[in-house]
Amino acid sequence: MKYFSTFQFDICIPPSDNIPEGCSKKRCFKSVDRTIKFLDKCLLIKQEKELKSPLLGVIEGGDSLVEREKCAKEVAKRNVDGYVLSGFDRLIENWKEILEKCLVHLDKEKPKLMTGIFTPLEVIEAVQLGVHLFDSVIAYDVTQRSCALSFKYNTKKKHVENSVTTEDAVDGNSVTTEDAVDGNSVTTEDAMDGNSVTTEDAVNGNSVTTEDAVGGKMTCKKKHLSEYEYNLKDKRYFDDTRPVVEGCSCYCCSRYVRAYLHHLLTTNEMLAQVLLMIHNVHHWLAFFKEIQRCIKEDTLTDLIELIAAKR
């Protein structure tokens, strides 16, 4: 709050006790208790110093439906300007049920922000439930893994092509999109620097990366981002002269080809991260513009069908 008071940021999000799924009931209770205490202290400081910038209340409680509801009810009683629905990108399968239960107790007129990495379909599902805002951390996350976001989202033009197609299946590295078995895309990426993304074969439907399997330790991850991205570090793009994503109008895609990005990545040039970030931010924000348009025109189901078709 001292930093907030000094620099007068546009928005203030108090500290919170964010915990992973699978914690005990006692730990979920502590998460809520600490989060509410942090919020009350920040609200008190804001009032004492007469700070004008909006302050958001954070909803915590892990994967406990009881504690999440309790936290939502308590935060709703406070004089906050909006809400942060934290930790939902790491919850188990019932995250939508928990989210829906929380939103019931929150003021419908106040903005609701979800932070973390979500697939495009999860974003739309959250929007349908009543979430208004998301961060753009996915662009950074995808860039750090030498990947480019690539999924269709324009329901009118449908110009964004699937960048990884069956023609890329070389030397046993099968990479398929819409032609994949049972509608699931399959990626192997087992050849390049340990940057692997597996598919729905993982335990309980969770994707598992090679880097998590070192020493026999297997870690499950919730997100199936391999269906919405491709890794430019893969050797198959060594001489690929196509744009990074065909049909994309960003600075990166309109000026450079996959082979050049592959070269930059394999030689560890800093420009690779810059160009990839430009594309990933552009692609992600364009997707949100399409969501806004579909909401206004009541065609959100068309967008869902378009994105789901790739799976």
Angle at 97 between CA 95 and CA 102, to 5 degrees: 95
Rg of the chain over all Cα atoms, to the nearest angstrom: 21
Tell which wins on pLDDT, 178 or 133: 133
State the pLDDT at residue 223: 55
Residues 253, 245 contacting (CB under 8 angstroms):
yes
The 3-state secondary structure of 207-267, one letter per residue: ECCHHHHHHHCCCCECCCHHHCEEECCCHHHCCCCCECCCCCCCHHHHHCEHHHHHHHHHC
Residues 191, 234 contacting (CB under 8 angstroms):
yes
Q: Is the pLDDT of residue 140 over 80?
A: yes
State the pLDDT at residue 203: 31
- pTM summary value: 0.76
Look up residue 110 and give its two tokens: 């106040």
State the pLDDT at residue 258: 97
Q: Is the pLDDT of residue 219 over 90?
A: no
Mean per-residue pLDDT over the chain, rounded: 81
Angle at 219 between CA 214 and CA 220, to 5 degrees: 145
**Phi and psi for 264 in degrees, rounded to 5?**
-60, -40
State the pLDDT at residue 195: 40
User: How do residues 274-306 score in pLDDT, each as one tens digit?
Assistant: 999 999 999 999 999 999 999 999 999 999 999
Q: Is the pLDDT of residue 192 over 50?
A: no
Tell which wins on pLDDT, 85 or 169: 85
- Rounded Cα–Cα distance for residues 54 and 105 (Å): 20
Residues 187, 226 contacting (CB under 8 angstroms):
yes
- For range 130-149, the mean pLDDT: 94
Q: Is the pLDDT of residue 197 over 70?
A: no
- For range 5-13, the mean pLDDT: 89
173 DSSP assignment: B
Q: Count Cβ atoms below 10 Å from residue 218 Cβ, excluding itself.
A: 12
**Phi and psi for 147 in degrees, rounded to 5?**
-110, 160
User: How do residues 40-82 score in pLDDT, each as one tens digit?
Assistant: 999 999 999 999 889 999 999 999 999 999 999 999 999 999 9
Residues 102, 127 contacting (CB under 8 angstroms):
no
The highest-confidence range among 6-10, 141-145, 180-184, by mean pLDDT, is 141-145
Tell which wins on pLDDT, 106 or 93: 106
- Rounded Cα–Cα distance for residues 282 and 157 (Å): 17
* pLDDT band with cut points at 50, 70 and 90 for residue 310: low
State the pLDDT at residue 224: 59
Look up residue 126 and give its two tokens: 């959250």
State the pLDDT at residue 227: 87
Contacts (Cβ under 8 Å, ≥6 apart) of 44:
none
Q: Is the pLDDT of residue 163 over 90?
A: no
Residues 223, 90 contacting (CB under 8 angstroms):
no
Q: Is the pLDDT of residue 225 over 50?
A: yes
Residues 42, 14 contacting (CB under 8 angstroms):
yes
- Rounded Cα–Cα distance for residues 97 and 100 (Å): 5
- For range 194-202, the mean pLDDT: 36
- For range 159-187, the mean pLDDT: 37
- Rounded Cα–Cα distance for residues 241 and 247 (Å): 14
* pLDDT band with cut points at 50, 70 and 90 for residue 272: very high
Strand locations in the chain (E): 56-59, 82-85, 112-114, 133-134, 147-149, 229-231
